[in-house]
Structure 1
Amino acid sequence: MTPRPFAVARTKRFLAWAAITASCGAAMLSACGGGGGGGGGGGFASVTGPALPQLAAAQPGKLANCTSLTGFTFANTTITSASLVAADAVTSTADGVTLKLPAHCVVVGKMNPRTGIDGKSYAINFEMRLPSSWSGRFFHQVNGGNDGFITTDTTRAFGRKLGGSPTSNGLIEGFAVLTSDAGHAPNSASYPNDPATGLGISGQVFGLDPQARKDYGYAAVGSLTPMAKSLIAAAYGRGPDRSYMVGASNGGRHAMVAAARYAADYDGILAGSPGFNLPKSRIAEEWANQILMGAATSIDPVTNRPAIWSSFSLVDLTYVSNRVLAKCDALDGAVDGIVQDVQGCQSAFSLANDVATCAAGQAPDGTCLTSVQKTALAKLFAGPKNSAGKALYSDWPWTNGIYGASWRGYMTGVTNGAGVGTNKYGNNVGFVSAAAFIFSTPPADPTVMTGLGPTMIDWTLNYDFDKAEALINGTTPVFAESSMSFMTPPDPTNLSKLRDRGAKLIVFHGTADPVFSYNDTIAWYKGLMAANSGDASNFARVFNVAGMTHTQGGPSTDQFDFVTALVAWVEQGRAPDSVVGTARTAAQNPDMTGSGIPAGRTRPLCPYPKFPKYKGTGSLDDAANFVCP
């Protein structure tokens, strides 16, 4: 029932970040059960609070125009191609699952071409996939990472519905799907990647242009949305009846920004693992970097700097995971390898008392951590602070998911169990350079911070937390909008426009997410509840996925479908009291190896503050035997 060491292929953190949501699949599982309570999974309950407008259901339509859409006109917009794709001619594959796609029209174009103040060429490049048999719905798929790419390849595109291992997607379900690069692409010619590794800073230097920053934050969505709806009208003879935005990670941030800025344009919004305080979370990254380098026991041979990968081994983190399970697994009434009561676990587990300290001279061996390691973990989970003790981001909840490949890959830079590997800055300079170029005002000098040289690592080692707030809130005459302004919702707990027109918001977040803190999302939701007389559940709900790391993975039931639940809520008024999550195979999710969680196990995913509780009888692998009380 508890994790044991396992080996999985080491992944490059930069690639994981760049594709963090685009690589996430989705499962068209039983998200919509019958009416009534939230028992076993997939049930719907009546919304609480005052009655809100009920939006009408979308009506189907047929594609009327495709190749003629090259003549489509919209301000500052050029259509470069429009072509028909036959049914089953294109497939989409993720996590070993391949989907055949329906007949549709592919439209490629760009908006707002310009030359930036950095002398580089910019435009909002986009692609739309318009199904021949249309549901009457618009699906705006927003990207993860730092954007800068269009999800046109067959492993990413066509309306990702999030969660692990897809069994369907937006295009298959009849949505008209939009994707874009959010207004920038890597400037690889100007800032070439390291020849030995292929990695570099080219994907982040758009931060040198203030308009590119703004497009990335929110302005690209503002330009694309009316254009996409107009193009849909040209293709089908009418605009969409219902419009949805779906994204995770940075895409979840896009979605939460849209809920505040573009409430009139979207009827349903799904925000997964949202980094809506993304600039603050980059401060947390630098905090983690310095702490883990301080706990390092080796020097990285490439950079001649402390090797983060040597701070904690897989054995070390598995030991901590097992200690969390020992204190928290049974809190939900079932000993099953999943910590469902994440709030209760924060009181039940104590790093100081429940994790043994190695004796002087004793190396950590799976039965203890050194005092240096324990101090580092305590500071890491407490979140970043300045010298006056002021919190600069959120803290993080203790869960057993910290042994997972995603958690370790992000924090220590290795996902294998060997205890050695490349320093995580060799794996990913993207996190550090994003903080330096996009979320700092003024941005760092890219002619100094290039490639994989020690200057990049020294920047993070010397990051001054007393200046951190000034960097993310700062402006200059050239950069007149701070990163906190262009990246975050302008008033995160004021969603009255979305609420009052009958639109809905669903947020989901893994409790073991190492990129964006689950606690930060819950703090936001508590604020939203307070702004709505203590209950926002009639238009917005947050679901936790116990043990899940960033967007998917971890010892969890991370295959789910919130999109179907969202559509039912928006168009039929059936509020989701639970959505079924399913555990994937170890081949699909390597973190399942040794977890004691069998493939195919189901659990109800519950809206906060509820969590699944065992009824006391029946299989632990069947969602029907759990309730969301």
Structure 2
Amino acid sequence: MRLLWGASALAIAAFAAVPAAAASCDNFAPPPLNRTTLKTTAAEPGDPVACRIVGRSEPREGSRIGFEVWTPRAAWNGRILMLGNGGYSSALPLGPMKHFAALGYVVVATDTGHDGDGPDFARERPQAIADWAEHAVHESVVRAKAITAAYYGRPAAHAYFQGCSTGGHQALTEVQRHPDDFDGVVAGAPGANRTRLNIGFLWQFVQNHTRDADPRLILPASKLPMIRDAALAACRGRNGDPDVGGLPSDPYLNAPLACGFDPVALRCPDQDRPDCLTQDHVAALKAMYAGARDPRTGAQLYVGWPRGSEASAGGFGGWNLYWADPAKPSEPARSDFWRDWAGFGSAWDWRTFDFDRDATRALARLSKTIDAVDPDLEVFRRRGGKLIQWHGAADPVVPFEDSIAYYQRAAADQAKRGHEAETFYRLFLAPGVEHCQGGLGPAPIDLQTRIEAWVEQDVPPARLEARRATGGVAGVGFGRPLCPFPQVAVHDGVGPPDRAESFQCRRPASRTDRPAA
């Protein structure tokens, strides 16, 4: 098997090394594509992009899927790379697209089938929900492959997808529903359990607001840094333990789910002060740590947010980003999700939301369409696909416990089939990293290089190199390996503490991937 892979890798390398006889952008005649219009534009001299092909596809009634295919000015490396989106935004990731075009990739991105940056785009456009959730990426890459083959006179050797947050959601949707689209996929901090994630956001709002006509915030955002620091102080003592990994000096938590910090320890002895919590504060905070639950049965509807993620340490932001609508603080974040997606209508009021009846109704209406939670990855595995998933363990937006839960379900499904998930799917946790970036911990770098090595040379990622930004420059400074779950990075007791080479990946003797009792 390795001989076959080796020969294949040599053939691919030779294929990619030969410059393609690209068509001239001005003279390029795009291939006819079903229900799709295309427009080509030659880039300005000095631009790393040679030709921009802008498309609009209408594969279904009500669909308006926009996408762009950028061909590189440099010699094409034989690969297509599609980049994911963020939130509910239609914005294309222009910076990363230009970066990868300069490296020789044909780069693809989509507007997810709408204009704007909030879920209100689905108002009176129900088809737009399915396009955002699934069809936009699939339809765009299928057309991008045809365009690329016509432009260069040959098909791409490999197709890759890389995204974080909603991009991570898109990545998991692809491997579950369209396993033939991509050979290698990188899914960062995926908001793939989308309906339950929004139930979680709503839970945070409800638990932290009075139900008055003019709702009052219970726990103010100004106290979140103090709470985060108290949680870190209470639980950092486990850092450096062989079952936790890292070093005692790490300023973040290496095992947040093993942290049993109780906010009662911060209760004010008398009146409210900036450095303590009232009884109401404590109750609200405990409910948010616990996560959304069915009030009748106590069943968990969505995981809680981890200790140590309450406030940003210089990255994406803290809990307060999503516990209310920034433009209208008296309303929950993503209220239009409930009005327009869940079908509760314009008169929807969060005060009457029932976390039993209404949550069940929303899941029944939306989950099959928008949630990427199917653990069956067998078709993707059989065709040789490879998946790297990573998640920051201080993520204040999408709790990383959700990634663990999905990986464990997928691994269990593979085990029933007689396979080991790690042969094609690996999860990496990044302690101290916030939502896709930022935080006190090091984030993974060179992910595209690692997924290509796995796909094209059969070299699985035994670890990922991670670096913490120094002086505002990502990928420079403090280094630490990220280990495939459930392994942790353990210091060898000899090497410099800021060098990744000083750590080994080891499987912990006891589990630290579940909350302390």
TM-score, normalising length: structure 1:
0.71
Relative distance call for 1:265 and 1:81 in structure 2 (3 A) is: same
Relative distance call for 1:351 and 1:124 in structure 2 (3 A) is: same
Contact 1:247 1:254 in 2 (8 A): yes
Partner of 2:437: 552
Higher helix share: 2
One-letter code aligned to 2:197 = S
In the alignment, is residue 487 of structure 1 matched against residue 429 of structure 2?
A: no
Quote the offset at 1:149 in angstroms.
Answer: 2.7
Partner of 2:486: 609
Quote the offset at 1:492 in angstroms.
Answer: 1.9
One-letter code aligned to 1:620 = P
Quote the offset at 1:289 in angstroms.
Answer: 0.6
One-letter code aligned to 1:335 = P
Quote the offset at 1:487 in angstroms.
Answer: 1.1
Partner of 1:452: none
SS at match of 1:566: helix
Q: Please, which of 319, 332, 336 is the counterpart of residue 249 of structure 2? A: 336
Partner of 1:320: 230
CA distance in 2, matches of 1:150, 1:346: 35
In the alignment, is residue 564 of structure 1 matched against residue 449 of structure 2?
A: yes
Question: Deviation digits for residues 417-461 of structure 1, max 9, x if unmatched?
Answer: xxxxx9735379794234224541x2522xx68xxxxxxxxx334
Q: Please, which of 199, 213, 216 is the counterpart of residue 306 of structure 1? A: 216
Q: Please, which of 411, 415, 419 is the counterpart of residue 529 of structure 1? A: 411
Q: Please, which of 445, 448, 464 is the counterpart of residue 354 of structure 2? A: 464
Relative distance call for 1:258 and 1:601 in structure 2 (3 A) is: same
CA distance in 2, matches of 1:316, 1:150: 37
In the alignment, is residue 282 of structure 1 matched against residue 198 of structure 2?
A: yes
Coordinate RMSD, CA, aligned = 3.3
Contact 2:149 2:155 in 1 (8 A): yes
SS at match of 1:403: coil
CA distance in 2, matches of 1:403, 1:549: 10
Relative distance call for 1:501 and 1:330 in structure 2 (3 A) is: same
Q: 5+ unaligned residues in a row in structure 1: which ranges?
A: 1-45, 90-101, 117-121, 160-168, 187-200, 416-421, 450-458, 475-481, 590-597
Relative distance call for 1:427 and 1:271 in structure 2 (3 A) is: farther
Question: Deviation digits for residues 106-148 of structure 1, max 9, x if unmatched?
Answer: 11121118874xxxxx511111111131111111112111132
Relative distance call for 1:284 and 1:516 in structure 2 (3 A) is: same
In the alignment, is residue 444 of structure 1 matched against residue 327 of structure 2?
A: no
TM-score, normalising length: structure 2:
0.85
Task: Within 5 Å, give how 1:3-402 maps onto structure 2.
Answer: 57=12, 59-60=15-16, 61-62=19-20, 63-69=22-28, 71-87=30-46, 89=47, 102-112=48-58, 116=62, 123-132=64-73, 133-152=75-94, 156-158=95-97, 169-186=99-116, 204-294=120-210, 304-307=214-217, 310=220, 312-331=222-241, 332=245, 334-339=247-252, 341-342=254-255, 345-351=256-262, 355-365=265-275, 368-387=276-295, 388-398=297-307, 400-402=308-310
CA distance in 2, matches of 1:410, 1:208: 33
SS at match of 2:199: helix
Partner of 2:500: 623
CA distance in 1, matches of 2:118, 2:382: 42
Quote the offset at 1:172 in angstroms.
Answer: 2.5
Relative distance call for 1:617 and 1:207 in structure 2 (3 A) is: farther
**Identity within the alignment, %:** 27
SS at match of 1:628: strand
Q: Which moved more, 1:316-325 or 1:258-267?
A: 316-325
CA distance in 1, matches of 2:272, 2:497: 39
SS at match of 1:218: helix
Relative distance call for 1:220 and 1:291 in structure 2 (3 A) is: same
Relative distance call for 1:570 and 1:430 in structure 2 (3 A) is: farther
CA distance in 2, matches of 1:313, 1:616: 37
Question: Deviation digits for residues 279-308 of structure 1, max 9, x if unmatched?
Answer: 1100000000112225x9xx9xxx943146
Relative distance call for 1:428 and 1:130 in structure 2 (3 A) is: farther
CA distance in 2, matches of 1:413, 1:495: 33
One-letter code aligned to 2:359 = E
Q: Which moved more, 1:207-216 or 1:256-265?
A: 207-216
Contact 1:137 1:242 in 2 (8 A): yes
One-letter code aligned to 1:500 = R
Q: 5+ unaligned residues in a row in structure 2: which ranges?
A: 507-517
Contact 1:139 1:244 in 2 (8 A): yes
Quote the offset at 1:222 in angstroms.
Answer: 2.7
Question: Deviation digits for residues 195-254 of structure 1, max 9, x if unmatched?
Answer: xxxxxx865232532211111111222322221100001111111110111111111111
CA distance in 2, matches of 1:560, 1:208: 41
Q: Please, which of 459, 463, 467 is the counterpart of residue 582 of structure 1? A: 467
CA distance in 2, matches of 1:249, 1:240: 27
Partner of 2:513: none
One-letter code aligned to 2:485 = Y
